[in-house]
Amino acid sequence: MNILVIGCNGHMGQIVSKLAKEGKDFNVVAGYDRAIGEGNSFPVFDNIEKLKDFLNTNTVDVIIDFSLPEATMAILKEIATRYKIPMVIATTNITADQQKEIEEASNQIKIFKSANMSYEIKILEDVLRMVAPKLAEYDIEIVEEHHNRKVDAPSGTAKTLANAINESLGGDREIVKEYYGKRDKKQIGVHSVRGGNIVGVHTIKFIGMSDELEITHRAQSRDMFAEGALKAAKWLVENKNKSGLYNMNDLD
């Protein structure tokens, strides 16, 4: 299947292209990036109009997006919906208004969106939904760690995990990034650490008066996120539905 990679010259975009080239199911036919770069084995565009010209004469089966929200929304509006191409959105820091636009676009095309393309994170979310109600009286803290180049904080994954916990507890918890003063039992704290080349670590702490349960997911390589995006892309293409918004839960 032919892939268009958005953010192809970014770190994750390069990994997606590399793994796609090594596999037998994918062929990267083009990329889109504000930085053209050198050494790509496929044409790279930094202008949407030029990308449209390419798509008028070339077939793309699915789009994989590891870019920034502004680029994501531009590609969604000008390319994905216009040419009816399924799209995998792995971009983080999407706003509420942008999320609404994505949901509206999913009425026209198939969209797979996840802040974390690791299937194991989906399993962690399931575990937290099971554990949290049993430890509802405990203080709950989430600590996320990433490399010092990550632009958003807290991570989209940390927000997803916090929301999963909150939903399992009835939805009445406040998710906060900072504390001033006394700890509120109705708060779920989310803390960000940035340093070095940390791929991604998410630790959830359930802290009681006499004990503590800690659950940690530690990413060893960014390849896992690219592998998840490729898996999602293949699922989108093979999915017989014509439109809809999907996520990691649909890969079961």
Are 61 and 3 contacting, i.e. CB atoms less than 8 angstroms apart? Answer: yes
Alpha-carbon span 115 to 164, nearest angstrom: 13
Active-site residue identified among 122, 146, 191, 217? 146
Alpha-carbon span 160 to 167, nearest angstrom: 11
Two tokens, residue 95:
């706003």
Active-site residue identified among 52, 147, 150, 231? 150
Is residue 146 annotated as a catalytic residue, yes or no? yes
Is residue 217 annotated as a catalytic residue, yes or no? no
Alpha-carbon span 106 to 100, nearest angstrom: 10
Amino acid at residue number 12: M
Q: What is the DSSP string of 165-226?
A: HHHHTTS-PEEES---SSPPTTEEEEEEEE-TT---EEEEEEE-SS-EEEEEEE---THHHH
Residue 77's contacts (CB-CB under 8 Å, 6 or more residues apart) are 101, 105
- Catalytic residues, by residue number, are 146, 150
